[in-house]
Amino acid sequence: MSTDARTPEPPYWAVIFSSRRSITDPDEYAAAATRMVELASQQDGFLGVESARASDGFGITVSYWRDREAIAAWRRHDEHRIVRERGRQAWYEQFQVRIACVERAYERTQEDG
Q: What is the contact surface with its own copies in residues (CB under 8 A)?
A: 2-5, 7, 10, 14, 16, 18, 20, 50-56, 58-60, 62, 88, 92-110
Give the Å distances, CA to CA, from 46 to 14, 50, 79, 84: 10, 12, 16, 18
Sheet of 46-53, strand order: 12-21, 58-65, 46-53
Q: How far is the CB of 52 from its own copies (least distance, A)?
A: 5
Q: How far is the CB of 81 from its own copies (least distance, A)?
A: 15
- Return the number of the residue (32 or 64) whose C-beta is nearest its own copies: 64
Q: How far is the CB of 35 from its own copies (least distance, A)?
A: 19
SS3 23: coil
- Return the number of the residue (15 or 36) whose C-beta is nearest its own copies: 15
Amino acid at 48: G
